[in-house]
Amino acid sequence: MCRGWDGTVAKAIGTSISQRNLLIGRGNASFPLSSSARRLSWRWTMSLRACGFIIFRRPCIPKVDNKAIEFLLLQTSYGTHHWTPPKGHVDPGESDLETAFRETQEEAGLDASQLNIIEGFKSELNYVVNSTPKTVIYWLAEVKDYNSEIRLSGEHQAYRWLNLEEACKLAQFKDMVTCLREGYQFLCSNTP
């Protein structure tokens, strides 16, 4: 998600849209991009990086039970209606972690005060979407309240809390399955 095309976005990278001389080269000839092509070009650049949290919950009574870990997956309301943890594109001037918090708030209705970020786990997925390379960074985050309310945005039509095997079946994409399994293994090996 990019915010506006009025120069505010461009100032985040130290220039204004009107100062930019964006050119596309073809052989020895170059030509300036139209304003709509600049916007599309800028969006492609911003679409290359996304961040989010692999959100989970587990009962802690009478003790932490890693066998009962459940992962939160959201079903998109567009395309193939795939299942994914909350994530989204990094906005200009925003850090990766700020993006993860913002997108989790927007897509699942969970704010930073409702999450415990698990130190030491960070996963990077690299894949291609519509002929464009994309990098997605995930951290692990546990909801503080097992019964936290999930409030979906218009980008998603359903959510589920799932054990590891169920989550891997719904996730479909090999990289996402690997990420979920690595997160689960990390939690199991780092819990007293």
CATH number at residue 58: 3.90.79.10
pLDDT digits 0-9 by tens, 143-183: 999 999 999 999 999 999 999 999 999 998 899 999 999 99
The verdict on 60 and 81 lying in the same domain is yes
Residue 3 belongs to a domain: no
Per the prediction, the chain carries an average pLDDT of 79
Residues paired with residue 143 on neighbouring β-strands, in sequence order? 115
Residue 1 belongs to a domain: no
The verdict on 126 and 38 lying in the same domain is no
Q: Measured between alpha carbons, how far is 55 from 86 in angstroms, rounded to an integer?
A: 8
Residue 20 in contact with residue 10, Cβ under 8 Å? Answer: yes
The verdict on 91 and 158 lying in the same domain is yes
The verdict on 34 and 74 lying in the same domain is no
The DSSP call for residue 15 is S
The verdict on 106 and 181 lying in the same domain is yes
For the record, the structure tokens of 165 come out as 């095997």
Of 15-29, 30-44, 157-171, where does mean pLDDT reach its minimum?
A: 15-29
Residue 74 belongs to a domain: yes
Total domains in the chain come to 2
Structural domain harbouring 19 = 8-45
Provide the pLDDT for residue 99. 97
Residue 123 belongs to a domain: yes
For the record, the structure tokens of 46 come out as 């911003």
pLDDT digits 0-9 by tens, 56-97: 998 876 666 777 899 999 999 988 899 999 999 999 999 999
The verdict on 70 and 152 lying in the same domain is yes
The verdict on 103 and 41 lying in the same domain is no
Residue 32 belongs to a domain: yes
Helix (H) or strand (E) segment spanning residue 101: helix 96-108
Provide the pLDDT for residue 191. 66
The verdict on 26 and 108 lying in the same domain is no
The verdict on 128 and 146 lying in the same domain is yes
Which amino acid appears at position 60 of this protein? C
The verdict on 39 and 126 lying in the same domain is no
Residue 98 belongs to a domain: yes
